[in-house]
């Protein structure tokens, strides 16, 4: 998947996009109903993408001109209503204008981006830093020096100080972290990690990779140098507002007691694996063990059974695990303006290590994040429920990170594994399953690109679509074939319409499936959460604390954390009333939810849903 957009610009995640067009100009354009309808382009490249980032202006500008031609082709020939897609292409347009010093046009494009925003926070913060940079340049006719710094600082401070704290708190804290730790080495290392492996195999960049390279060049030239100017302004803004958002979730939560006469509930965690030793007394012991053991099923990258319920780590990864935890905590400490040892170490590492060193660290961190993921979700799912019994369905969903080329045979092998997982859930009476993962057609394209799938984008897309069709059908069948099991899935973290992307399982519409968006501690929409017609409730997904392998606790963010909060509620409903069907449980969850003033969000409320159920039982 494309790399996330930089926080300093706050213009959303990089996926696909285009600008708005007058209705009268749309008659002859190809209508885009899904991400798969967008065109694919290829940019042959000798050497690496990270090397292109450091190329001279003439070399890079020649590449940028090709990207602009193809971007204009989308603008002129495709009708796109999806706002996430419009946001992404419009941002690419901005990056190209910014790099070309077309400042007046870039300012106009920032206004287009602002008009495309749907979330309250983004409507206020989009392009705030970029606008200050451009206006400072127009005033001083320079991009650096004392006069430019003074002009930028004045405009950026005015923009930040005008933001209402209740809407901008999360943005300010994330932006402060970015200003403190983002560097040229970090930007280069990200491209080395996310894009160079594909270029090495295919000899070309695809659309999203090319757009990321353009964006990163713009970051390095204009964004990174402004970090030292932005950091003190953001720190002062945060310090001026000592009150943090209220936490609504504690007052909504139901905690079941061991002495209540309730029914044990088997809760499935279909994820990267779970360290079950962290949850003594809450593990399902199967009287009919599988090849993996008595607590569920686990499969390796090739789809063969594993005897471990945890994702395997190399010795180097195990050695780095404590550092990984410290760096995550360091980021959170910086967000809260705490100058802790972990915060100091994070800033030191990101500011002083070489791109090559950071690239290796990012590779390991990616693996460790995946390693911790399932255990973290499990802790959220069983919190406050002594009747929950965990069962594991472990596999590797990091498709684009797999080192072997995907084949239809592999896809069918995993489909057979998913069928076994479904059979297991059905025959062991697993009542609710958490699925904090998702895959779309583009992920298969990226996987093909990284493993020698060729530079021809049309052929690569054709092969990816074939693989995705098998994958989608397998997941849908697995859910359908366990009709008495409620499946709960994460909406995704791309600030996009899951249905438009074709993300599965989040885009599926099934009677025993519910997709969940993420909000923060105050119940306000996160910047990253995806949405769409299948995403019907929202739950806490911002800095949610839970266990990770080994028993330490860590706060993580994502719709991955929101989904098991809904599983938590469902498992309590099933414990109270074991005869509930998945459809009835979804109804109770939805009816108990509270709707935001703008109608966008539907926040789960355990107490209300449980009260609705108890009222029905007492009748």
Lowest mean pLDDT among 17-21, 267-271, 276-280, 504-508: 17-21
Distance CA 595, CA 224 (A): 39
Residue 22 scores a pLDDT above 90: no
Task: Report the DSSP beta bridge partners of residue 517.
Answer: 538
Asked if residue 587 has pLDDT above 80, the reply is: yes
Give me the pLDDT at residue 618, please: 85
Q: What is the maximal distance between C-alpha atoms in the chain?
A: 77
CA–chain centroid gap for 61, Å, is 31
What pLDDT, on the 0 to 100 scale, is given for residue 501? 96
Confidence of residue 27 (pLDDT cuts 50, 70, 90): low
* Alpha-carbon torsion (213, 370, 320, 314), positive or negative: negative
* pLDDT of amino acid 13: 35
- Who's near 563: CB < 8 A, 6+ residues apart? 377, 434, 435, 436, 488, 489, 490, 516, 539, 541
Strand, coil or helix: 524 = coil
Side-chain half-sphere CA neighbours of 26 within 13 A: 11
8 pLDDT more than 50? no
Averaged pLDDT, 415-438: 98
Of residues 522, 453, 485, the one with CA closest to residue 249: 522
CA distances from 515 to 437, 442, 504, 506 (A): 11, 20, 10, 6
Please say whether the beta carbons of 266 and 389 come within 8 A: yes
Sheet strands side by side (includes 602-603): 296-298, 388-394, 265-271, 432-435, 486-490, 513-519, 535-540, 602-603, 594-595
> Residue 21 above 80 pLDDT?
no
Q: What is the pLDDT of residue 454?
A: 78
pTM to 2 decimal places: 0.93
- Sorted by where each starts, the structural domains of the chain and their CATH numbers stand as 23-239 (no CATH), 262-310+372-618 (3.40.50.200)
Mean pLDDT across the stretch 498-519?
98
Minimum mean pLDDT range among 13-22, 127-136, 440-449: 13-22
Residues 179 and 2: their CA atoms lie apart, in Å, by 22
The confidence score (pLDDT) of residue 338 equals 93
Q: What is the mean pLDDT of the chain?
A: 93
CA dist 394 and 523 (Å) reads: 31
* The predicted structure's pLDDT at residue 28: 86
Burial of 503 (0-12, 13-18, 19+ CB in 10 A): buried
Task: Note the pLDDT of residue 601.
Answer: 97
H or E segment at 462?
A: helix 457-480
Q: What b/e sequence results for 391-424 when a residue is b if at least 16 CB atoms lie within 10 Å of its CB, and e otherwise?
A: bbbbbbbbbbbbeeebeeebbebbbebbebbbeb
**pLDDT tier, 61 (very low <50, low <70, confident <90, very high otherwise):** very high
Q: What is the 3-state secondary structure (H, E, C) of 27-71?
A: CCCEEECCHHHCCCCEEECCCCHHHHHCCCHHHHHHHHHHHHHHH
pLDDT value for 191: 98
Share of the chain above pLDDT 70, in %: 96
Residues 6+ apart with CB under 8 A from 545: 553, 554, 555
Q: At a CB cut-off of 8 Å and minimum separation 6, what does 357 contact?
A: 189
Neighbouring-strand partners of residue 266: 389
Report the C-alpha gap between 267 and 429 in whole angstroms. Answer: 9
Q: Where are the beta strands (DSSP E) in 289-386?
A: 296-298
Q: Nearest CA to 562 among 525, 532, 599?
A: 525
pLDDT tens digits, 238-287: 999 988 889 999 999 999 999 999 999 999 999 999 999 999 999 999 99
Higher-confidence residue: 3 or 406? Answer: 406
**Do you find a cis peptide bond into 554, omega within 30 degrees of 0?**
no
Q: Which residues touch 464 (CB under 8 Å, ≥6 apart)? A: 441, 442, 444, 445, 447, 448
* Calculated CA dihedral for residues 283, 288, 292, 295, nearest 10 degrees: -10
pLDDT tens per residue, range 525-553: 999 999 999 999 999 999 999 999 999 99
The DSSP line for 556-596 is E-SHHHHHHHHHHHHHHHHHH-TT--HHHHHHHHHHH-EE-
Of residues 15 and 188, more confidently modeled: 188
- 238/173 Cα distance (integer angstroms): 7
For the residues 456-468, what does the mean pLDDT come to? 94
Who's near 409: CB < 8 A, 6+ residues apart? none
């Amino acid at each position: 998947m494309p790399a996330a957009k930089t926080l300093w610009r706050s213009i959303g995640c990089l996926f696909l996009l285009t600008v708005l067009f007058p209705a009268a100009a749309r008659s002859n354009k190809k209508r885009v109903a899904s991400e798969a309808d967008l065109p694919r382009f290829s940019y042959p490249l000798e050497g690496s993408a990270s090397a292109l980032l450091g190329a001279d202006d003439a070399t890079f500008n020649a590449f940028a001109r090709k990207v602009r031609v193809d971007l204009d082709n989308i603008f002129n020939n495709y009708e796109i209503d999806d706002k996430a897609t419009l946001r992404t292409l419009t941002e690419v347009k901005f990056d190209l204008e910014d790099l070309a010093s077309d400042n007046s046009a870039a300012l106009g494009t920032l206004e287009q981006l602002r008009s495309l925003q749907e979330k309250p926070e983004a409507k206020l913060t989009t392009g705030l830093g970029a606008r200050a940079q451009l206006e400072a340049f127009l005033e001083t006719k320079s991009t650096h020096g004392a006069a430019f710094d003074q002009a930028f600082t004045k405009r950026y401070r005015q923009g930040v100080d005008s933001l209402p704290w209740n809407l901008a708190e999360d943005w300010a804290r994330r932006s402060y972290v970015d200003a403190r730790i983002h560097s040229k080495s970090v930007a280069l290392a990200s491209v080395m990690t996310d894009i160079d492996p594909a270029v090495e195999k295919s000899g070309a960049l695809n659309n999203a990779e090319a757009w990321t390279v353009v964006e990163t060049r713009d970051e390095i030239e204009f964004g990174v140098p402004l970090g030292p100017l932005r950091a003190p302004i953001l720190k002062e803004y945060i310090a001026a507002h000592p009150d943090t958002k209220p936490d609504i979730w504690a007052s909504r939560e139901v905690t079941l007691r061991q002495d209540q006469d309730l029914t044990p509930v088997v809760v499935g965690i279909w994820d990267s694996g779970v360290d079950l030793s962290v949850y003594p007394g809450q593990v399902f012991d199967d009287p009919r063990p599988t090849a993996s053991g008595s607590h569920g099923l686990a499969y390796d990258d090739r789809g063969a059974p594993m005897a471990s319920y945890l994702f395997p780590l190399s010795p180097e990864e195990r050695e780095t695990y404590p550092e990984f935890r410290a760096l995550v905590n360091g980021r959170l400490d910086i967000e809260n303006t705490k100058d802790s040892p972990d915060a100091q170490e994070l800033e030191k590492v990101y500011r002083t290590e070489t791109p090559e060193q950071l690239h290796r660290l990012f590779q390991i961190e990616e693996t460790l994040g995946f390693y911790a993921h399932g255990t973290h979700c499990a802790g959220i799912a069983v919190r406050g429920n002594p009747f929950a019994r965990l069962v594991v369905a472990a596999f590797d969903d990091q498709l684009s990170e797999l080192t072997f080329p995907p084949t239809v045979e592999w896809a069918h092998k995993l489909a057979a594994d998913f069928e076994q997982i479904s059979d297991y859930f059905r025959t062991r009476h697993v009542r609710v399953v958490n699925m904090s993962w998702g895959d779309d057609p583009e992920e298969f394209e990226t996987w093909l690109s990284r493993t020698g799938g060729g530079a021809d984008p049309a052929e690569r897309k054709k092969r990816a679509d074939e693989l995705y069709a098998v994958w989608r059908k397998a997941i849908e069948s697995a859910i359908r074939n366990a009709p008495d099991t409620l499946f709960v899935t994460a909406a995704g973290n791309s600030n996009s319409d899951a249905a438009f992307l074709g993300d599965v399982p989040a885009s599926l519409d099934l009677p025993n499936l519910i997709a969940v968006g993420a909000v923060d501690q105050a119940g306000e929409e996160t910047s990253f959460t995806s949405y769409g017609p299948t995403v019907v409730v929202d739950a806490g997904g911002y800095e949610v604390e839970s266990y990770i392998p080994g028993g330490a606790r860590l706060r993580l963010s994502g719709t991955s954390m929101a989904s098991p909060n809904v599983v938590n509620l469902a498992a309590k409903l099933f414990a109270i009333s074991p005869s509930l069907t998945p459809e009835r449980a979804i109804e109770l969850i939805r009816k108990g939810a509270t709707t935001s003033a703008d109608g966008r969000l539907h926040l789960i409320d355990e107490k209300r849903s449980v009260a609705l159920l108890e009222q029905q039982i007492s009748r």
